[in-house]
Structure 1
Amino acid sequence: MTVVLCLAVLFGLLAIGTPVGFAMAGAGSLGLYMLGGMSVLTGILQTAPLSAVTSYELITIPMFLLMAELVLMSGIADDLFRATSAWVGRIPGGLGMATALAGAGFGAICGTSTASAATLSSTSLPAMLKQGYEPRMAAGVVAISGTLAMLIPPSVALVIYGLLAEVNIGALLVGGVIPGLLVTATIMLTVWFLAWQDPSRAPGGPRVSMREKFRMLRIVGPMLLLFGMVTGVIYTGIATPTEASALGAFCAFCLTIWMRKMSWAGLYRALVRAAHGTCMISMILLGAYIFGYFFTLAQVTQDLVAWVGALDVSRWLIMALILCGYIVLGSFMDQIAILVLTVPIVLPLIKSLGFDPLWFGVVKIVTAEVGMITPPVGLNCYVVARYSGRPVAEVFHGTLPHFIAHIFAIAILVAWPQIILWLPMKMGY
């Protein structure tokens, strides 16, 4: 009864717009008080704040957020889209494919999907509409391409999962590379299929000379440098993910100066936005710690594992139900909130079924990408609608083919776990 009441309080607080971290902290505190009284509650509240932020790996979050803000200031995303569109923009659907490639490239130096979606909305979407693309198709490509930043390293979502699940963050970031390429290819194939069905949806662009194409490749240089300073040093073992995040932020700072986009006002805004994002995530982690203590004392996780273990069904059916549940949750909640709320509960169940936590983490993030475009609260769709001025319903309509394609991509990753695990194993994790 106590668990049901606290869950009702949690979802009630979320329904009235209470920030996720405060909602979980409030509901968890109520549960702790009901189970153990004021002494238990005050004892946990005295230690939970330090426990929530004491992890050394947590430094990666503010560094990756700051790097994303500085990259946005540098304008490198605009250059990246121009370079990719020069190579593939002439074929039908080419600008849509260029948007997917730009989303992957920007995700490799950004780490946050909303920033990626906002940037693509102001660069690639106007270009596609100018070329005569069907508006809903163009908006859908931008919304789904923005989600790639959740998966392709450096990924804030993978870092948070690693902290919650106590999985090696470097292995998670490495494990996201091949699935990131697979999902990027899935988006491009979906665009090609839609253009093949009806070429008027996505007409080809003007021819670009080979000399101009190679000249545009110079634009990609700064992006490759930044990617090497973050992901490359992790792959080669030169630096840990925490050290790499600091290198990435410093390199983004230098890149912004080199491109003459740095200003004191811009730097101040970037620092403030990164600080705001870090405080929000820290509060969510604190709320998750408090709520997790309550679930531990109430033995919810242990009872759930025992109940599922007694079921006479395939473990793959249970996995399918868990992933479907994540897609449904993604329709109503923020993905970071879903991570911190569910991972402490679901992970013991995943381990008891014999699944690899690293593999599950990457599959969970790919599933979260689907939630970012699923109505009624698909966050990326609202970001695209806000920055482009297109109706939200139009954006959601445009993402439907990508939703279906992503389900197939998730099925492939579930059926062949080595797609995720092969590279971390080769890298010695």
Structure 2
Amino acid sequence: MEALLGTVTLLVLISIGLPVALSLALSGAVGLYLLGGSQLILGILGSASLGAIQNYEFVSIPMFILMANFIICSGVSDDMFNVAKTWMGRTPGGLAHATAITGAAFGAISGSSTAAAATLSATSIPGMLKQGYSPKLATGVAAISGTLAMLIPPSVAMILYALLANMNVGKMLIAGVIPGLLITLTIMATVAYLVWRDPDHAPLGQSYSWREKFVSLRSSWTFIVLFMMVTGVIYIGIATPTEASAFGAFGAFLLAILRRTPMEKLQHALVVTARATCMISFIILGALIFGYFLTITQATQNLVQFLVGSGLPAWTIMVMVLFVYLVLGCFMDLVAMLILTVPVVHPLMVQLGYDPLWFAVVTIVMGEVGMVTPPLGMNVFVISKYTKIPASDVFKGSYPHVVAHLIAVAVLVVFPQIILWLPATMQ
């Protein structure tokens, strides 16, 4: 009864617009008070604040966010887009394809989806609109390409999932590499289909010679260096994800200095990183309080036992869980969604016999869909804010990519080795 009351309280608080962190903390505190009075709640509140961020691997989250902000202020993302634009040339929808490639490249040296969306808004959308691209096509591909930072390492979302599920962070990050490439190809295939169906959506772009294409690669060294400083050292086993995040942040800082980035922009990067880190820490704190409440009531264990013993096939339960993620993604930020669901879903998937690493990656891909679906769709609102294009148009432009992503999820479900092969080769 207490577990039901606490859960209902949480849903009510979220539905009236209270921040997720406060909703989790208040509903958990109310439940703990009902279970053990003020003494229990004060004891847990006293220890939860430290427990929220004392995990050593948590350090990688602010480091990767800082790395992303240094990359943005240094202008590296502009170089990446120019390289992709040059190589795509007069390919139908070439700038849209370049946007997808830039989103993947930015994701490979950053861990922030919203930062990627904001960057693509400034680098790719103006060029597409100037060339005569349909606003829906331009904004839709930018919104969905920004979500690649959630899947391709380093990814803050995947680090958070690993911490919540007590999984190996390094293997979690590397597991996103091949699916990330698959999703990038999915985005490009969707663009190709949309342009084939209506060529007026994307006029042919400028043609470049082979010499110009190879000359453009000179500016790609920054991406290669940063990628090797993070994902490369994790895969080879030279450094842990936490150490790699420090390497990446420091490398991005040196790059910003070499490119003579103004001090005001560097200071802004620090402030933005501090705000994002505090937000995530506060959500984790609220989740810990609510998690203590669920643990004491044994709500999680009872739910897992009920579903496992329900007689339903394992694949049916798995599909139902994925559908819940699709619905939650429409109303909730990915970080909040993971914190709220992973403590319940992870043990359920283990009980059903599914590989937790495989399911974690599938969950993150479903989270990508949530970033571009109404009514929340955070990346959509980021794009709308920077481009002044109505969010409704961005949502319409994102819709074909949502359908394509669901097809990609089906492929990952049917062929789990797409996810599991590369982590199995790690040292």
Residue type of the partner of 1:155? S
Distance 2:13 2:311 in 1: 36
Partner of 1:108: 108
Partner of 2:307: 308
Residue type of the partner of 2:277? T
State the Cα deviation string for residues 31-84 of structure 1 (Å, max 9, x = none). 011112222211211211121111100000110111111000011111111110
Please say if residues 107 and 150 of structure 1, whose CA atoms lie closer than 8 Å, have aligned partners that are also in contact: yes
User: 1:297 Cα deviation (Å)?
Assistant: 1.0
Partner of 1:135: 135
Partner of 1:205: 205
Q: What is the root-mean-square deviation of aligned Cα atoms in Å?
A: 1.0
Distance 1:347 1:258 in 2: 44
What are the equivalent positions in structure 2 for 1:288-303 lying under 5 Å apart?
288-303=287-302
Partner of 1:394: 393
State the Cα deviation string for residues 178-228 of structure 1 (Å, max 9, x = none). 000000000000001111111111121021111111111111111111111
What are the equivalent positions in structure 2 for 1:31-50 lying under 5 Å apart?
31-50=31-50
Partner of 2:218: 218
Residue type of the partner of 1:65? I
SS at match of 1:377: coil
Partner of 1:155: 155
SS at match of 1:98: helix
SS at match of 2:207: coil
Partner of 1:334: 333
Distance 2:71 2:229 in 1: 13
State the Cα deviation string for residues 313-356 of structure 1 (Å, max 9, x = none). 21111111101100100100111000001101111111110111
User: 1:11 Cα deviation (Å)?
Assistant: 2.2
Unmatched 5+ stretches in structure 1: none
Partner of 1:403: 402
In the alignment, structure 1 residue 10 sits paired with structure 2 residue 1: no
Partner of 2:61: 61
Identity value in percent: 56
Distance 2:99 2:266 in 1: 27
Distance 1:325 1:196 in 2: 34
Residue type of the partner of 2:9? V
State the Cα deviation string for residues 260-319 of structure 1 (Å, max 9, x = none). 11x332222111111111111111111111101101111111111111112222111111
Unmatched 5+ stretches in structure 2: none
Residue type of the partner of 1:285? I
Residue type of the partner of 2:82? R
Q: Which moved more, 1:102-111 or 1:301-310?
A: 301-310
User: 1:16 Cα deviation (Å)?
Assistant: 3.2
User: 1:252 Cα deviation (Å)?
Assistant: 0.2
Distance 1:268 1:23 in 2: 32
What are the equivalent positions in structure 2 for 1:86-105 lying under 5 Å apart?
86-105=86-105
What are the equivalent positions in structure 2 for 1:345-364 lying under 5 Å apart?
345-364=344-363
Distance 1:19 1:265 in 2: 30
Distance 1:141 1:244 in 2: 30
SS at match of 1:53: coil
Distance 2:113 2:32 in 1: 35
Distance 1:57 1:3 in 2: 30
SS at match of 1:374: coil
State the Cα deviation string for residues 90-112 of structure 1 (Å, max 9, x = none). 11111111100000001111111
Distance 1:132 1:89 in 2: 15
State the Cα deviation string for residues 98-135 of structure 1 (Å, max 9, x = none). 10000000111111110000110111111111111111
Residue type of the partner of 1:329? L
Please say if residues 91 and 203 of structure 1, whose CA atoms lie closer than 8 Å, have aligned partners that are also in contact: no
Distance 1:344 1:88 in 2: 43
User: 1:7 Cα deviation (Å)?
Assistant: 2.0
Distance 2:234 2:11 in 1: 39
What are the equivalent positions in structure 2 for 1:189-204 lying under 5 Å apart?
189-204=189-204
Partner of 1:75: 75
For normalisation by structure 1, the TM-score amounts to 0.98
Partner of 1:344: 343
Distance 1:274 1:249 in 2: 11
User: 1:8 Cα deviation (Å)?
Assistant: 2.5
Q: How many equivalent residue pairs?
A: 427
Superposition misfits of 4+ residues, deviation over 4 angstroms = none
State the Cα deviation string for residues 333-380 of structure 1 (Å, max 9, x = none). 111000001101111111110111111111110110000011010111
Distance 2:423 2:76 in 1: 29
What are the equivalent positions in structure 2 for 1:415-426 lying under 5 Å apart?
415-426=414-425
Please say if residues 89 and 98 of structure 1, whose CA atoms lie closer than 8 Å, have aligned partners that are also in contact: no
Residue type of the partner of 2:210? M
Distance 2:347 2:161 in 1: 14
User: 1:9 Cα deviation (Å)?
Assistant: 2.0
Distance 1:408 1:15 in 2: 30
For normalisation by structure 2, the TM-score amounts to 0.98
Residue type of the partner of 2:308? G
Residue type of the partner of 2:287? A
Partner of 2:256: 256
Distance 1:77 1:192 in 2: 23
Partner of 2:285: 286
SS at match of 2:124: helix
Residue type of the partner of 2:406? I
User: 1:5 Cα deviation (Å)?
Assistant: 2.3
SS at match of 1:235: helix
Residue type of the partner of 1:175? A
Distance 2:252 2:182 in 1: 27
Please say if residues 60 and 241 of structure 1, whose CA atoms lie closer than 8 Å, have aligned partners that are also in contact: yes
